């Protein structure tokens, strides 16, 4: 952005100089003035083009998240306003070329959820211990930060809680929950590739 600003200043300088026309001149001198004016105009146009190009390259105008994803700290999230079971939720995310949200920008996601969706609620996240009880890992294989579990969680209540639920706005915020229970869910869309390995 800084370089775009300096270019804008350069453009202003060129425009302030103005065409070097002199009244009363004729013949070659007038032609020279006209050429000088044309040259200055060309320079101004080139600078304008460059300013626009650099502005479009800045993050503010950078690659956008595809609909219906929204950006939070440059990551693309979708948080549902309807509830599904964990597996149905994941299927929905995968169907959108995404996956259930994991550790990526977790706190940015929470802020996004709080500000855009609801003040308190529960959201499915991308972790499950259905196949290996008690082995909680993100779908991409990374370990879940132990400090993020709500006190006493995960407790695998009734031997039937295998899916990761994030509570908002409390901290810590992870619960294990019954996978078939209906909850909101958060998908994360990774630009340029699949989320899981």
**Cβ-count burial of 105 within 10 angstroms (0-12 exposed, 13-18 middle, 19+ buried)?**
middle
Inter-helix orientation angle 28-57/2-17, to 10°: 160
75 touching Ca ion, by CB under 5 A: no
Q: Give the integer Cα–Cα distance in Å for 8 and 5.
A: 5
3 touching Ca ion, by CB under 5 A: no
Stretch of residues binding Ca ion (CB under 5 A), selected from 38-46, 49-57, 94-102, 149-157: 149-157
Per-position DSSP letters for 114-178, written without gaps between them = HHHT-SSEEEEEEEE-SSSTT--BBTTSPBPPGGGBPTT----GGG---EEEEEES-SS-EEEE-
162 touching Ca ion, by CB under 5 A: yes
| Phi, psi dihedral angles at 147 (to 5 degrees) | -70, -10
92 touching Ca ion, by CB under 5 A: no
Stretch of residues binding Ca ion (CB under 5 A), selected from 4-12, 15-23, 82-90, 121-129: 121-129
Which residue, 109 or 164, has its beta carbon nearer to Ca ion? 164
Minimum Å gap between C-beta 162 and Ca ion is 4
Q: In this chain, which of 143, 156, 170, 194 binds Ca ion, going by CB under 5 A?
A: 156
Q: In this chain, which of 129, 177, 184, 188 binds Ca ion, going by CB under 5 A?
A: 129
Count the site residues for Ca ion by CB under 5 A.
3
Which residue, 110 or 162, has its beta carbon nearer to Ca ion? 162
127 touching Ca ion, by CB under 5 A: no
Q: Give the integer Cα–Cα distance in Å for 137 and 142.
A: 6
Task: Give the footprint of Ca ion on this chain (CB under 5 A).
Answer: 129, 156, 162
């Amino acid at each position: 952005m800084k370089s775009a600003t300096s270019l804008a200043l350069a453009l202003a300088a060129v425009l302030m100089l103005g065409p070097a026309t002199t009244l009363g001149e004729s013949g070659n001198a007038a032609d020279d003035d006209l050429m000088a004016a044309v040259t200055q105009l060309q320079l101004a146009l080139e600078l304008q083009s460059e300013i626009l190009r650099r502005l479009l390259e800045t993050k503010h105008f950078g690659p956008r998240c595809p609909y219906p994803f929204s950006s939070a700290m440059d990551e693309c999230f979708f948080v549902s306003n309807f509830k599904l079971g964990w597996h149905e939720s994941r299927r929905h995310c995968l169907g959108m070329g995404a996956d259930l949200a994991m550790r990526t920008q977790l706190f940015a996601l929470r802020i996004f959820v709080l500000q855009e969706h609801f003040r308190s609620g529960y959201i499915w996240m991308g972790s499950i211990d259905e196949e290996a009880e008690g082995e909680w890992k993100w779908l991409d294989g990374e370990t879940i930060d132990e400090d993020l579990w709500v006190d006493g969680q995960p407790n695998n209540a009734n031997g039937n809680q295998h899916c990761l639920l994030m509570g908002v706005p409390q901290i810590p915020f992870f619960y294990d929950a019954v996978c078939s229970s209906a909850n909101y869910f958060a998908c994360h869309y990774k630009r340029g590739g699949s989320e899981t390995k």
